Amino acid sequence: MGSRALDFVNHGALARLLDRVVADFPPIRKILLISPSRSDRYFVRRLFPGALIIPSQIFTWDLNNPAPAHYPKVDLAISSHVQMYAADPERWIRNILSIANVYAFQDLKYRNRSREGCGFGVDGDCMRYTLKPENTRQPSYPLERLPFRIHEFFEFEGIRNELHGKDDPPIHMCAAVSNGAGSATQVSLADVLFSLKQDAVIFTRTNVRRVSRRLFR
């Protein structure tokens, strides 16, 4: 199944999550997008056409570390298939919530991405997520352990790959967590300039990598 079908299923679940959660918070004016794909950006822009979108990648902020001082406060942080790379999930979520009123993410509860070991991918994939402790056949983190409020959690069946048979579907999940209600942010000129700078840095870094691969493969 192609990436468009995967995006359709994952974005549909994330839209459902955001629809349930966003109404409980102040107006969404600033959004931090964590390691977004091009389709992730388009999806969020359609949902929040008036919001300032601030992208972030691992080379602009490693989530193992506190947020850089120049990162602004945001109303909402969003990620899709990012938390599965967290060896210390609470640290990542704590760091994100230090600048975000609410963090909404879509990730994996049970999915085989390789034939190695317990089925994790070979790209640093190391974690799955549940609400309460349970046996998912893969190392997982129960979100109820977090010292934060869980606003929403639900599971849905993901699209099968060649590592999942008819009776062994992959299970994905969505969750939203926060430190509390939070207060609305205001968009300043500095925020707009920071967003543009992030876009430029990410665009340049990504395209330099693509050119390097073509030249030296």
pLDDT above 80 (res 210): no
The number of beta carbons lying within 10 Å of the beta carbon of residue 161 is 12
d(CA 74, CA 27): 11
For 172, left (φ over 0), alpha (ψ -120 to 50), or beta?
Answer: beta
- Average pLDDT of the segment spanning 161-166: 90
pTM of the entire structure? 0.91
Average pLDDT, the chain: 90
pLDDT above 90 (res 208): no
d(CA 194, CA 99): 15
pLDDT tens-digit series, residues 37-84: 989 999 999 999 999 999 999 999 999 999 999 999 999 999 999 999
Structure confidence at residue 5 as a pLDDT band (50, 70, 90): confident
Two structure tokens written together for 75 = 């109303």
CA 151, 157, 160, 165 torsion: positive or negative? positive
pLDDT tens-digit series, residues 119-138: 999 999 999 999 999 998 99
Q: How many helices (H) and strands (E) does the chain have?
A: 4, 8
Structure confidence at residue 215 as a pLDDT band (50, 70, 90): very low
**Residue 211: per-residue pLDDT:** 41
- Average pLDDT of the segment spanning 180-198: 85
- Average pLDDT of the segment spanning 156-172: 92
SS3 call for 10: helix
43-57, 105-119, 180-194, 200-214: least confident range: 200-214
d(CA 214, CA 203): 17
Residue type, 44: V
- Highest-confidence range of 54-68, 159-173, 187-201, by mean pLDDT? 54-68
pLDDT above 70 (res 182): no
pLDDT tens-digit series, residues 20-32: 988 888 789 999 9
pLDDT tens-digit series, residues 80-100: 999 999 999 999 999 999 999
The number of beta carbons lying within 10 Å of the beta carbon of residue 63 is 22
Task: Classify domain 27-106+124-152+174-205 at the CATH class level.
Answer: alpha beta
What DSSP state is assigned to residue 180? S
